[in-house]
């Protein structure tokens, strides 16, 4: 008869949930797609399986008998698949991620080596670019972006540090020569190294301190593309060209070496960390599922470690005050 197995699964999901909306939430699919699948199944079988109203969905007599006969059959299929999965000791395959350059530089180095060691049969491909792409059209399984760039129909999982700061820095040579800013408005008199986004825009620098928000759009001799040329921005700042603004993680290593010193640190704004995101309406490939679980496990361990550190700090503070 050529009945599609996906249509059968959609029908059973609606039966189990008692409606299309609840089934959509349970399966991650849309109510309209589930409804269309049930219509196809009814057309193929030539009978009505569900009575639909604006408020409820009820099984017809034929639909109830079909569902009762299909449930044990589907259970056998699931059992058979579980048996096959038992023979697969290692998860294998390709995982392709689209990420911003900042994530490739500041987030993934702490994750990738351990992940590849845990899953030696997974081939990981990273595409680092700062333009927002269609994951499916580009052939990527998932991506990393910040929340303001996420589409609503994507599933998002926190990855990496949950709080980051936008930092300013310059070489001591430059600051000795041109002065050290004490307020963001002082940047208007400095040579600032700016970044241009793929859209062509150069975003103003935003600062925040004690509830005061201050935006400034300083000028400078050097402007580079955001992301790919960030290392050039850092090198230029170390060379005494001017003041650079980047993610804190990008320039902090140069503070300890003395190559750069922080500028206006009390004013540095903070923002939420990045997310791993992927389409919610498709089957999650095994390599991506392994990566998601790996990232979640690291987040739990990191949160637990932070809680222990916080408790230790509180205890130390209490003992000192006593």
What is the average pLDDT across 278-294? Answer: 83
In the predicted model, is pLDDT for residue 18 greater than 90?
no
Q: Which of 94-103, 120-129, 255-264 is modeled with the greatest confidence? A: 255-264
Please say if the pLDDT value at position 316 is more than 80. Answer: no
Q: Which two tokens stand for residue 174?
A: 């430059």
Average pLDDT over residues 240-252: 94
Mean pLDDT calculated for residue range 19-42? 86
Q: How confident is the model at residue 317 (pLDDT cuts 50, 70, 90)?
A: very low
For the chain, domains (ranges, CATH) are 5-87 (1.10.10.10), 93-162+273-310 (3.40.190.10), 163-272 (3.40.190.290)
Residue 82, φ and ψ in degrees, nearest 5: -65, -35
Q: H or E stretch including 143?
A: strand 142-145
Identify the pLDDT of residue 306: 45
Classify 33 as helix, strand or coil: helix
Q: How far is CA 154 from CA 28, 160, 277, in A?
A: 10, 18, 6
**Mean pLDDT of the region 132-145:** 81
pLDDT at residue 311, as a whole number = 43
Phi, then psi, of 203 in degrees rounded to 5 = -75, 140
User: Helices marked H in 54-131 — which ranges?
Assistant: 61-87, 101-106, 112-118
User: What does the radius of gyration of the chain's CA atoms come to, in whole angstroms?
Assistant: 27
Q: Which is more confident, 193 or 298?
A: 193
Give the integer Cα–Cα distance in Å for 134 and 98: 10
Query: What percent of the chain has pLDDT above 70?
Result: 85
Cα–Cα distance measured from residue 39 to residue 44, given in angstroms and rounded to the nearest whole number: 9
pTM for the model: 0.61
**104 close to 231: Cβ distance less than 8 angstroms:** no
C-alpha angle 275/280/281, rounded to 5°?
Answer: 160
pLDDT at 143: 92
Q: Is residue 144 pLDDT above 50, yes or no?
A: yes
CB 220 within 8 A of CB 192: yes
In whole angstroms, what is the distance from residue 291 CA to residue 118 CA? 10
pLDDT at 301: 64
> Which residues lie closer than 8 Å to 127 by C-beta, 6 or more apart?
96, 97, 98, 99, 138, 140
């Amino acid at each position: 008869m050529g009945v599609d197995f996906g249509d059968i699964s959609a029908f059973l999901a609606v039966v189990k949930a008692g409606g299309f909306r609840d089934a959509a939430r349970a399966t991650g699919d849309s109510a309209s797609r589930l409804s269309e699948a049930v219509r196809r199944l009814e057309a193929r079988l030539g009978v009505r399986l569900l009575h639909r109203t604006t408020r409820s969905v009820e099984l017809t007599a034929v639909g109830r008998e079909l569902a009762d006969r299909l449930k044990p059959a589907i259970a056998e299929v699931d059992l058979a698949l579980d048996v096959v999965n038992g023979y697969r000791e290692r998860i294998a395959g390709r995982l392709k991620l689209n990420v911003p350059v900042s994530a490739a530089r500041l987030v993934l180095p702490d994750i990738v080596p351990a992940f590849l060691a845990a899953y030696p049969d997974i081939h990981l491909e990273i595409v680092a670019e700062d333009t927002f792409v269609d994951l499916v059209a580009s052939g990527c399984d998932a991506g990393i972006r910040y929340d303001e760039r996420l589409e609503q129909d994507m599933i998002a999982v926190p990855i990496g540090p949950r709080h980051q700061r936008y930092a300013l820095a310059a070489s001591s040579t430059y600051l000795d020569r041109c002065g050290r800013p004490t307020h963001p408005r002082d940047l208007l008199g400095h040579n600032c190294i700016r970044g241009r986004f793929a859209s062509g825009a150069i975003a103003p620098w935003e600062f925040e301190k004690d509830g005061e928000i201050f935006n400034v759009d300083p000028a400078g001799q050097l402007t580079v593309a955001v992301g790919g040329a960030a290392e050039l921005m850092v090198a230029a700042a170390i060379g005494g060209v001017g003041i650079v603004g980047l993610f804190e993680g990008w320039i902090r290593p140069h503070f300890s070496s003395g190559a750069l010193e922080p500028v206006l640190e009390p004013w540095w704004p903070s923002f939420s960390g990045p997310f791993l995101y992927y389409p919610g309406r498709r089957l999650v490939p095994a390599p991506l599922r392994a990566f998601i679980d790996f990232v979640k496990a690291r987040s739990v361990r990191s949160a637990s470690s932070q809680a222990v550190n916080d408790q230790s700090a509180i205890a130390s503070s209490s003992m000192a005050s006593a």
